[in-house]
Amino acid sequence: MDERFWHTAARRVVFDQPPWVRLELHEVHLPDGRVIPDWAWVETPDFVNVAVQDEHGDFLCFRQTKYAISGWSLATIGGYLHSGETPLQAAQRELLEELGCVAPIWIALGSYAVDGNRGAGRGHFWLAREARTVQAPNADDLEPQELVRLSREEVRRALDEGAFKLLPWAACMALALLRT
């Protein structure tokens, strides 16, 4: 054990609602010898977000609502990883389900912790280029969604205006702009 880092000595589950969320209390030992007996830790599934460009270079996004935000938001394609699925497989599945598209070019934009102190899963971001429709969408999303095509400049403006209201969506699109 490296004494420069925090160490989890014990953990206790206080709430579990598979597969969506699990809350644990950890006994954490700090490098200076202090002990925190009830550090809250949240486990949620890893997820993917995909910035999608079609064959003309336009970005394909959704205009949709979410329970945790007020009003409409621009959104990326995305969802949770299924058991045994790699982030790339999940991204490709979500693109096919939500838009009915496939893409020949996949650029990894990174994998990021959601909360450095509380867990809450990892976000895996992708850029899918030259996406083309191969079937009708078959999404099981609960929210109403409207497909929106945006130029690179319109995405930049939307980011400046806060139109992507969830941090993972904004981060994914901003990272995609750096790669296009």
Instruction: Give CA separation, 165 vs 37, 63, 109, 161, in Å.
Output: 35, 11, 19, 10
Confidence of residue 35 (pLDDT cuts 50, 70, 90): very high
Please indicate, yes or no, whether residues 118 and 153 belong to a single structural domain of this protein.
Answer: yes
Higher pLDDT, 167 or 66: 167
Please indicate, yes or no, whether residues 67 and 26 belong to a single structural domain of this protein.
Answer: no
Is the residue at 156 inside a domain?
yes
The DSSP annotation for the chain comes to --TTS-EEEEEEEEEEETTTEEEEEEEEE-TTS-EEEEEEEEE---EEEEEEEETTS-EEEEEE--TTSSS-EEE-EEEEPPTT--HHHHHHHHHHHHHSEE-SEEEEEEEEEEETTTEEEEEEEEEEEEEEE-S------SS-EEEEEE-HHHHHHHHHTT-S-SHHHHHHHHHHHHT-
pLDDT value at position 98? 95
For 140-153, the pLDDT digits (tens) are: 776 778 999 999 99
Please indicate, yes or no, whether residues 85 and 29 belong to a single structural domain of this protein.
Answer: no
Q: At 160, is the secondary structure helix, strand, or coil?
A: helix
Q: At 86, is the secondary structure helix, strand, or coil?
A: coil
pLDDT value at position 2? 66
Residue 132 pLDDT exceeds 70: yes
Mean residue pLDDT of the chain comes to 94
Residue 102 pLDDT exceeds 80: yes
Is the residue at 146 inside a domain?
yes
Please indicate, yes or no, whether residues 142 and 105 belong to a single structural domain of this protein.
Answer: yes
Please indicate, yes or no, whether residues 39 and 51 belong to a single structural domain of this protein.
Answer: no
The CATH code of the domain that includes 150 is: 3.90.79.10
Higher pLDDT, 131 or 117: 131
What's the average model confidence in pLDDT over 57-66?
95
Domain that holds residue 11: 7-43
pLDDT value at position 1? 56
pLDDT value at position 59? 98
Please indicate, yes or no, whether residues 32 and 64 belong to a single structural domain of this protein.
Answer: no
What's the average model confidence in pLDDT over 148-164?
98
Please indicate, yes or no, whether residues 52 and 105 belong to a single structural domain of this protein.
Answer: yes
Is the residue at 173 inside a domain?
yes
Is the model's pTM score more than 0.85?
yes
The count of structural domains within the chain is: 2
Residue 164 pLDDT exceeds 80: yes
Residue 15 pLDDT exceeds 60: yes
pLDDT value at position 36? 96
